[in-house]
Structure 1
Amino acid sequence: MENRRAIEWSEAAWLNQPEAVLADGNNLLVTARGGSDFWRTTSYGFVHDDGHALLTDFPTEAAIEVGFVAAFEQLYDQAGLLIRVDEQTWIKAGVEYTDGVPHLGAVVTHGRSDWSMAPVPDWAGRDVTLRASRSGDAVTLRARCEDEPWRLLRLAPLAPDAEAAAGPMCCAPTRSGLTVRFTSFAVTTPDPSLHLN
């Protein structure tokens, strides 16, 4: 049985303060600083650990959900969810603008980052929800647009004894002025299995 609780924005703490944060009803409008990102080394040769994330504790046998709407216009504009242990161990998942369209993707980092993605052009400007379910030695990442079915995005390792935090994330690596509307932030029970159907 699902046990869901909304997380108040004030319950979480910022990793790297954004350019601006504004409460709008139950939503939170976050404007990213230009040049912000999370990435470690692979292919590009640089390390960025200055993206914005509003983090709360993420214990085992729990799931964190983050909802958002954003108008992505420039290369690498991104929003979603970050799971963080430390600067070398983290996972981000969400929607990122590349090759002219939004892509659903994930970056898993254990010392060095990787990146997987798939185009979702019909998700542009719509409400997207990311869910990270932590159980045992793994995190299962799922995403959906509005009330569409959940899509399995990634299964990633995360040590059961790792002290992790998770929450809404956004970055604007190539420009200033990206504002993301975060529409939900909640903790719930993890998905019962890797395959829901």
Structure 2
Amino acid sequence: MENIVNWQKGTWTVQPEKVELTEDGMIVQAAEGSDYWEETMYGFKHDNGHALLSSWEDNSAVEVSFKLDTFTELYDQAGLMLWKGTQQWIKAGIEINDGQPNLAVVVTNGCSDWSLSPVPDWKGQQVTIRASQMNDAVIIRAAGEDGHWRTIRVARFTREPGRQAGPFTCGPTRAGLRVLFTRWVHTAPDKDIHEDPPFLATAHK
């Protein structure tokens, strides 16, 4: 089971500077200073990132793929957003920190946290981020072009109606970040946390 989500069916939380649909997918240009964050450590709030959201039911997994070939500056980021509102969301993807790409997850329930894991060998690759509900949590996985899933987070997330999910990008420190998203699908959910799902991340138009 793999159901492609049409790029034009989603709704932006905040409209990006530019969106272009091409034969390769969707190119999104983030606004300078765009980000999502709630309070923790820094004391500030940001809710002006760009997430393209559509309904997400917990009987399916959601996957987003994008090219990691334009990320150069501190905190350049893109990936998958899970959304229940401005105070309850999870963003998972790639973020530049200390000069290299990192798998980054921010879980927010009133306040945000942040986890990082470096993946320097993924520079320039297509990256896929996946989320699947299991009981009261989501299992978040990531894969580069080798198709090997890495489990990067297990986090509590609501199963209440009204959940949404989709691709996101932010350019917290600079103008001109352009990200090519190649794929957005709903697919079969995980069977078990210790059993990798199939890797099906080929681009769609």
TM, length-normalised to structure 2: 0.92
Cα deviation digits, residues 163-189 of structure 1 (max 9, x gap): 210000000000000000001000011
**What residue ranges of structure 2 are gaps of 5+ in the alignment?**
197-205
Matched, 1:43 2:41: yes
Partner of 1:125: 124
Cα displacement (A) at 1:124:
1.2
Partner of 1:112: 111
Partner of 1:21: 19
Cα displacement (A) at 1:159:
2.2
**Which residues of 2 match residues 22-171 of structure 1 at below 5 A?**
22-70=20-68, 71-171=70-170
Cα displacement (A) at 1:161:
1.9
**Which residues of 2 match residues 2-17 of structure 1 at below 5 A?**
3-17=1-15
Residue 114 of structure 2 aligns with an amino acid whose one-letter code is: W
Cα displacement (A) at 1:134:
1.8
Verify the 8 A CA contact 1:80 1:170 in the aligned structure 2.
yes
**What residue ranges of structure 1 are gaps of 5+ in the alignment?**
none
Cα displacement (A) at 1:26:
4.3
Alignment length, in residue pairs? 195
Cα deviation digits, residues 33-84 of structure 1 (max 9, x gap): 0000000011111000110011011111211100001321111000000001
Residue 172 of structure 2 aligns with an amino acid whose one-letter code is: P
Question: Alignment identity in percent?
Answer: 47
CA RMSD of aligned residues (A): 1.1
Residue 52 of structure 2 aligns with an amino acid whose one-letter code is: L
Matched, 1:185 2:184: yes
Verify the 8 A CA contact 1:62 1:135 in the aligned structure 2.
no
Verify the 8 A CA contact 1:138 1:155 in the aligned structure 2.
yes
TM, length-normalised to structure 1: 0.96
Q: Distance in 1 between matches of 2:178 and 2:159?
A: 34
Secondary structure, counterpart of 2:84 in structure 1 = strand
Stretches (4+) displaced over 4 A: none
Q: Distance in 2 between matches of 1:4 and 1:135?
A: 19
